[in-house]
Amino acid sequence: MILLIHAKGKKVVRVLKDGQEQSVETSDCTTAFWEVAEKFPDDIIGWCEKEFLKDINLDSWECIFHHQLIMASYGLKTTYLPDSIGYVDQLPFININRKIKYPTWQMSTDLGGIYGRVLLRFKELYGKISDFGYFLNAIAKTGQQNGLFCYSDPALTKAATNNNPVPVASYSQLFSFVHQHYTSSWTSVLQWCLWKYEKKAAMMSYSKAFVQKKNFREDVDLSDFIPEASQNSDDTSLDVIIPTLGRKKYLEQVLNDLKEQILKPRNVIIIEQNPDKDAESELAEILAKEWPFLIIYHFTHKTGACNARNRALKEVKSDWIFFADDDIRLKSGLLHQVIEEAEKYQISAVNLNCKQPGEETVFHKVKQWGSFGAGTSMVKTRYAEKCQFSNIFEFGFGEDADFGMQLRNKGCDVIYHPGLQTLHLKAPVGGFREKPKLPWEQGEISPKPSPTLMAYAIKHYTPEQIRGYKVSLFIKFYSRQPIKNPVKYLRQLNKRWKLSEEWATKLLKENDSPGLPVK
């Protein structure tokens, strides 16, 4: 391990290799960082603010950097970008849970590390950056989209971790970063939000940002560093959860696909729903068949995906849970392959690539995922059993994204894998989302966004993320609605937004969930 000890991200104070002093040709942090990566490509290249040297928890580093595709840091006193980054980014990587290992591309200069060979793959893009904080965050932001797993990890340090780090980037650096790493429209959203909510014009910083070279969606090949396959997957047990409503033919296809799996589930937990109080099960014929796994079956007149999955979670007995829709198709080796890939990367939640017939794959690299699919995901039971699908989202949308956030806040990262594919047939009838007319759908004007999506935002977004969501929603929705007078449009949308807040707040209070709407 190489440790670059610096003063305020400006000047290199010392460089240590396994505790031994090393010489470098320059005292500039970023230049020295490239230099030691060239000299020691097989090592972890760590960085540490000099005042935190005594606090490094070196015993944990080998465990944290357990394969080469990991970059991690922890902000003891400083972070880089201000909370204003939330105006342009509503993904989970912004609102960091500092108490646990949490997925984020936001890096601090206080303490962190990355493997040398991996770092060198970014030299062509970022070799001329002189600002150390900008440099680390740019690598992580681009790297995360290319398969680099980035974290805030308190295990890097032995020091107390209950402080809120202070951002150090200027408005000029913030605007430059947003312009480089997001679509250009977000730079204007940032400028508008700063003016409206913080009374900061920042016109000079806004203008200068557009001279920066864009690195949005830049491709960096990290395929050489994919870890080798693990040998532990054969000892793994698996249960499958399937909620269903009125799709007997499709469900039987799923069960037949599970029957043909190389790695067969121990238990398949089926929750059949039918709102008709006089109805009986439609699955008697299927349940009477012999299957190479135990079917745990429940019939209920209470409909709803959240209720069904929560009931199924109580029956899980295996190491892993596969959350399945009742209208997907699986190739015979899929479940075994999912476990193999999870063990290889040492990850605990895998979001499969779920495609409809004829649909093309959009994202082609394994990467940290900003959502969660409750119909095609594999999760370790020890994390999933600590979570539940919130009744806030019953008959609405957002229950899977909320479950994903619960997982992250338990220390379970969610990874998307394009090579692990299911076919989603999108059956035209039945399923589990047939619903009654919701109370907010019965008024003269409808809330915008849906109150369940607003509730999700209140639960999981920073205040800046909620405001950025509002601005971007208003912009995107303008072309899709009949009111073209912008003043009337804004007046109408503000009413609908406020109505959504009111319903969301009511939902949250009824379910004892924290959070308050942001004006």
Q: Which of 423, 463, 446 is nearest to 500 (CA)?
A: 446
Give how many domains the chain has, as a whole number. Answer: 3
Radius of gyration of the chain (CA): 25
Tell me: do 369 and 456 sit in the same domain: no
Domain extent, residue 47, equals 2-225
The residue among 225, 259, 281 that closes a domain is: 225
Tell me: do 117 and 7 sit in the same domain: yes
User: Residue-wise pLDDT tens for the chain (519 aa)?
Assistant: 999 999 999 999 999 999 899 999 999 999 999 999 999 999 999 999 999 999 999 999 999 999 999 999 999 999 999 999 999 999 999 999 999 999 999 999 999 999 999 999 999 999 999 999 999 999 999 999 999 999 999 999 999 887 889 999 999 999 999 999 999 999 999 999 999 999 998 999 999 999 989 999 899 999 999 998 876 656 799 999 999 998 999 999 999 999 999 999 999 999 999 998 999 999 999 999 999 999 999 999 999 999 999 999 999 999 999 999 999 999 999 999 999 999 999 999 999 999 999 999 999 999 999 999 999 999 999 999 999 999 999 988 899 999 999 999 999 999 999 999 999 998 776 655 556 678 888 888 999 999 999 999 999 999 999 999 999 999 999 988 899 999 999 999 999 999 999 999 999 998 854 433 333
The residue among 225, 257, 288 that closes a domain is: 225
Identify whether 430 is part of a domain.
Answer: no
Tell me: do 403 and 280 sit in the same domain: yes
- Three-state SS string over 106-139 comes to CCCCCEEEEEHHHHHCCHHHHCCCCCHHHHHHHH
Identify whether 516 is part of a domain.
Answer: no
Identify whether 274 is part of a domain.
Answer: yes
Tell me: do 211 and 90 sit in the same domain: yes
Q: How far apart are CA 387 and CA 370, in angstroms?
A: 18
Torsion, CA 66, CA 227, CA 79, CA 43, rounded to 10: 70
Identify whether 517 is part of a domain.
Answer: no
Q: Give the per-residue pLDDT at 234.
A: 63
Tell me: do 218 and 237 sit in the same domain: no
Tell me: do 363 and 413 sit in the same domain: yes
> Which class for 360: exposed (0-12), middle (13-18), buried (19 or more C-beta within 10 A)?
exposed
Q: Give the per-residue pLDDT at 229.
A: 80
Q: How far apart are CA 155 and CA 60, in angstroms?
A: 6
DSSP codes of every residue in 273-296: E---TT---S-HHHHTS--SSEEE
Q: How far apart are CA 222 and CA 143, in angstroms?
A: 9
Q: How far apart are CA 5 and CA 53, in angstroms?
A: 8
Amino acid at position 178, single letter? V
Tell me: do 169 and 289 sit in the same domain: no
Tell me: do 370 and 255 sit in the same domain: yes
Q: How many CA atoms lie within 13 A of 366 on its CB side?
A: 22
Q: Give the per-residue pLDDT at 435.
A: 63
Tell me: do 62 and 167 sit in the same domain: yes
Q: Check: CB of residue 393 under 8 Å from CB of residue 433.
A: no
Q: Give the per-residue pLDDT at 485.
A: 93
The residues, ordered by sequence, that sit 6+ positions from 26 with a Cβ below 8 Å of its Cβ are 12, 32, 35
DSSP codes of every residue in 186-203: HHHHHHHHHHHHH----H
Q: How many CA atoms lie within 13 A of 32 on its CB side?
A: 25
Burial 274-294 (b: 16+ CB within 10 A, else e): beeeeeeebbeebeeeeeebe
Tell me: do 217 and 242 sit in the same domain: no
Identify whether 107 is part of a domain.
Answer: yes
Identify whether 256 is part of a domain.
Answer: yes
Q: How far apart are CA 412 and CA 381, in angstroms?
A: 11
Q: Give the per-residue pLDDT at 323.
A: 98
Identify whether 286 is part of a domain.
Answer: yes
Tell me: do 275 and 400 sit in the same domain: yes
Q: Which of 367, 384, 256 is nearest to 310 (CA)?
A: 384
The residue among 225, 243, 267 that closes a domain is: 225
DSSP codes of every residue in 327-352: TEE--TTHHHHHHHHHHHHT-SEEEE
Tell me: do 455 and 337 sit in the same domain: no
pTM of the model: 0.94
H/E stretch holding 70: strand 70-73
Q: How far apart are CA 349 and CA 365, in angstroms?
A: 16
Q: Give the per-residue pLDDT at 377.
A: 97
Identify the CATH number of the domain in which residue 328 sits. 3.90.550.10
Q: How far apart are CA 336 and CA 325, in angstroms?
A: 18
Q: Which of 47, 152, 64, 148 is nearest to 106 (CA)?
A: 152
Q: How far apart are CA 100 and CA 515, in angstroms?
A: 21
Q: Give the per-residue pLDDT at 514.
A: 41
Identify whether 258 is part of a domain.
Answer: yes
